[in-house]
């Protein structure tokens, strides 16, 4: 996409990494619960550990100073534009590489995974811990395949073969072995129990007997009891009996 600018990919990757670092640091500050700069010897003790406390203070200040310096230098580079005189990427190049970086960078994918898990979509049936990682890895695999396809037009077959092996084949095996097979195994345990319709849930108008929370989606057992899919799946791992009436499932 930028055949006459061999260093453009390096500059772009450096810029994206700086942005990812800043986002990760801000995310860490937002999610932090313990703002104490001291380390106690034990959780129930008020006695402070001098060496660990000093190490933590130095570490926190180092991270803060590094973040400030990074932001300042980035603003100076874009403000003065002296360091960008040989860097003139096209909009299409920035969009393609930026989207690929977003779907493959851990900090951004962790944010997407957290958002999906908190939304609790009915389609996932409380199985977000299995669906979300698989969907994220599938998105990364699709993006890698797209980028590898674009590399074909550059004529660099060595890069195409390397990307096919490291970014596609290895990711595909990871998706199949680490996520798809466990997800299929969990779904097979629920195949005998059909999904309740919205009308049935409205008529039932009750909470799940296992977790005692309202049900927007549920599975129905042969004995006509309603449970969250995730709750039922966990119970079936310990026993093949209904948690309410002790009906023995096949």
Inter-residue contact 102 to 20 (CB < 8 Å):
no
Could you read off the pLDDT of 81-106 as tens digits, one per residue? Answer: 555 666 677 787 788 888 888 888 88
At a CB cut-off of 8 Å and minimum separation 6, what does 243 contact? 209, 210, 225, 227, 235
For residue 46, give both structure tokens: 């008020």
Q: Name the domain count of the chain.
A: 2
CA dist., res. 70 & res. 76, Å (int): 10
For residue 182, give both structure tokens: 């466990």
233 occurs within a structural domain: yes
Neighbours of 15 (CB within 10 A): 20
Q: Name the β-bridge partners of 214.
A: 207
- By residue range, what is the domain housing residue 219? 194-238
pLDDT computed for residue 222 by the predictor: 85
Q: Looking at 40, 63, 89, which one is the last position of a domain?
A: 89
The CATH number of whichever domain residue 207 belongs to comes to 3.30.40.10
- The three-point CA angle 14-138-218 to 5° equals 130
244 occurs within a structural domain: no
159 occurs within a structural domain: no
Phi and psi (nearest 5°) for 198?
-65, -35
Q: Looking at 37, 71, 89, which one is the last position of a domain?
A: 89
Q: Looking at 66, 89, 112, which one is the last position of a domain?
A: 89
Q: Name the β-bridge partners of 40.
A: 48
71 occurs within a structural domain: yes
Q: Name the β-bridge partners of 219.
A: 195, 227
At a CB cut-off of 8 Å and minimum separation 6, what does 126 contact? 120, 228, 229, 230, 231
CA dist., res. 63 & res. 40, Å (int): 21
18 occurs within a structural domain: yes
102 occurs within a structural domain: no
44 occurs within a structural domain: yes
pLDDT in 10s for each residue of the chain, 250 residues? 555 666 677 778 888 888 888 888 888 877 777 666 666 665 666 656 666 667 777 777 787 788 787 777 777 666 655 556 666 777 877 888 888 888 888 888 888 888 887 777 777 877 777 888 888 888 888 888 888 887 787 777 888 888 888 888 888 888 888 888 888 888 888 888 888 888 888 887 778 888 888 888 888 888 888 888 888 888 888 888 888 888 887 6
Is residue 224 helix, strand or coil? coil
108 occurs within a structural domain: no
Is residue 203 helix, strand or coil? helix
Plot region of 59 (φ>0 → left; ψ -120 to 50 → alpha; else → beta): alpha
Inter-residue contact 136 to 239 (CB < 8 Å):
no
């Amino acid at each position: 996409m930028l055949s006459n600018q061999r260093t453009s990919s390096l500059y772009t990757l450096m810029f994206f990494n700086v942005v990812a670092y800043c986002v990760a640091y801000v995310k860490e500050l937002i999610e932090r619960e313990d703002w104490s700069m001291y380390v106690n010897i034990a959780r129930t003790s008020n006695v402070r550990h001098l060496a660990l406390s000093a190490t933590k203070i130095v570490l926190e200040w180092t991270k803060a100073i590094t973040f400030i310096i990074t932001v300042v230098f980035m603003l100076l580079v874009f403000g003065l534009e002296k360091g960008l005189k040989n860097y003139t990427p096209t909009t299409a190049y920035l969009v393609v590489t930026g989207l690929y970086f977003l779907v493959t960078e851990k900090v951004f994918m962790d944010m997407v995974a957290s958002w999906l898990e908190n939304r609790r979509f009915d389609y996932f049936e409380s199985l977000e811990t299995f669906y979300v990682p698989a969907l994220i890895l599938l998105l990364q695999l699709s993006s890698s395949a797209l980028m590898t396809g674009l590399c074909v037009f550059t004529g660099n077959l060595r890069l195409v073969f390397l990307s096919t092996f490291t970014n596609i084949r290895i990711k595909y095996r990871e998706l199949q072995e680490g996520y798809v097979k466990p997800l299929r195994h969990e779904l097979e345990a629920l195949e005998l129990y059909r999904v309740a319709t919205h009308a049935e849930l409205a008529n039932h108008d009750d909470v799940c007997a296992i977790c005692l929370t309202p049900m927007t989606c549920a599975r129905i057992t042969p004995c006509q009891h309603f449970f969250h899919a995730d709750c039922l799946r966990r119970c079936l791992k310990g026993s093949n009996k209904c948690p309410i009436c002790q009906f023995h499932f096949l």
